[in-house]
Chains A and B, each alone.
Chain A
């Protein structure tokens, strides 16, 4: 044996051995006492708790608030939907269970697996993890009968959104669909499979519409089967909402648009309440609730007419002659005498460029009112030349253009009021004289939304107040600003609009029982194309996407009732002839059949 195995001195440390003994006795005494406390002293208490433990608490689903139009007709309701839920604690063999569900529903097993992995992190012990959010009735009966053999699987009944008017109000209401990962992350009140608002009022009013989940106490046996249940907290339904929309009017406007793409807005000019909000074409919001298939989604997204585009607030169009209302007011405010005449020969020249009037042979000498009624381009060219962009742009902005109206819908666009600065940044080119002329007749770079036009015309009609457009019946009117014009100027413009219906381009709106006013617009989409010689193609000769946009901004007053209606028909051709009959029919709905 080597020397390292020599005994090293003697005896282990006495205090150390004492320490070990203290440790043993301490351990025994402390834990024996604790066991006695838990099992003997408090034993009965914990035994009672153990019995309670066989009671689980489950969320019960709250219905979303109902949505009605101003007359009380329902536009968003709830109906029961059947989801397949899984309680992971009760499942014996997860893989076999998922395989079975895949067999029943046709959902690939990998997809179910992914859903399970995603959901388990968010589901509390013994809570349902929703694997299939919406079961068809056929499947329901089959699965219901089989869940008995698959512990942990259960049918969960939940309210599901339905839009009984199908496509009619989709651009206002938006839709609900299953919450995505990001939304689940942000909102701890959501569980996998819950629906949330994804667009329109459903999104904006999510906080008011969504109810509060209830709590139910469920008594279960060892395999998770429910024996008994008791409601601990009733679910709280979401708030019901009434719209300012008149469904009948909405229907009328939609019918009148026929197969055209475009927008119609009908507004109460004295409050800003919107009575009709039509964007065509529309889509069926019910498709989203059920969960779109990829093909359905692609078809909607890539549709040549863009049904998902909200043309009332998201599409920006050149305003065309409708913008003459703004330029005219700016000119009158700048001191142009309305009695002063301009001679229209059908065209004016600026440098090398020739600017034409829509009327080839000219209007002759026209004063302000005649110019607005006839929509004489040459008169407004001369105004544009005198005002220049420096006067027109700020004036247009003060009339509410170039900025959002603030309506309670997501993704509103602000339109564009061009300035020399903007042009330099955008195109790297200076503002030239011709730009002033184009701007004066609403061509060139100007872009507006139909809602901005409706709000502006409402302000002209109501005495000059720009109101925030409202969609809900209970919202108080909210004055945002005043039109930058004197009462005299405003009257001149409005009177000219009335005259336009009597003798000008908006004659289609004429009716004996009401005071009607209007301004048409035909906005060129592409630069004027001339056929050989000097003749322009007719609308029918042009390719659809090259045809002009047709505008008609109007108001009507009868027996103290006032309405503003704006119609924009995408690639519709001439404002008066295309949009005129449509709005005439809209006023028939509002005022009764006309005596013309």
Chain B
């Protein structure tokens, strides 16, 4: 109880309005930001030329652009004449602040606050310059054809990357503050005359419901926003490509951005969003559908090939042609383990190589190839721990998993694969079919922000029919109607 009371008190203190006296304000600010202890908190007093009053400027030296402060705030204030502060400083964005709470937030988000003696309102001026990396190539979602830009950790850069592709005054960037101690801003981006208001309101209220001390970045936000944290199936799309985000915006989806994340979230999504790749849209009709067909095959191979092999070899061996069956049996002759055990060993080994390959420092990179190929492949076979055919099967399933570019869906299939292998090992095709059916039905029952996961295929909705395969781009007339956009028809066809 005492804790809560205390929290309430400090809340009251923060909400205090600014004083008229500059000295009181300075004192309060010093106390709030632990001036002196906090090395990068800067304070600069000056005498304004236009009204001959004392003033004081506060900011965090580490997150503002010093040159801008000097040139556009301090210099004009010291030298120029005018009627008010707003007229004198040459800063894009000036906000009037009347309480310490807002002042606190503003300083934290990289603004400078100017208190003037005898004035109850202070001025917040945007001089933020958070350090970030330059716009670089997308590394995790690489495409051959199409724009290569990737989001960076700076929100302004990210929005500019989106606006670069979408010249539309209806593109809205709405900020919502979340977090109790560290207030971070989530930016909701949508096209106002397309997006469905119910879905937008749903996203907004879900964001506002998040009650936690801080949400650092979009990756953490994704987990707070998720409806089913224990589910294997993702319901939010995570992408680092502005062009992909823009194409979703154009269809009436909502994009979430946060500072300090080099990616964005797209909501609501369907299964097909995870299955697609931005390149599919840039390639010509047949080329794109060819890669889609390949990806579909990869989807099956990753999920099922090991399990199917276990089921067929263990329970339905009559299916394998006799010559092949003899070859397989001969190669397994000296292996002491049951087949399912062999497959599991190899699958886990492959996952190990994959995880290690990801974390290994660059100079040691080639080692992983040697370890993987030689030791696990060759030597394990020669040592009769596994049979050669298993290496083929597992390599195929592992390789295919890389074709599913989206990290989330990639994990889904990689994890489900193990369940299927075990199901196949228990009762052959009967259990495997049952497990697959249940997985499928579970996925069909999932909703992402109220949108059924397999729409627009089932339940059927009008859409551009860009699901498993896509149509020629000129024939894509409609936006996905499961989003209930305000304007269903793309203006492609008159």
Are A and B a genuine interacting pair, yes or no?
A: no
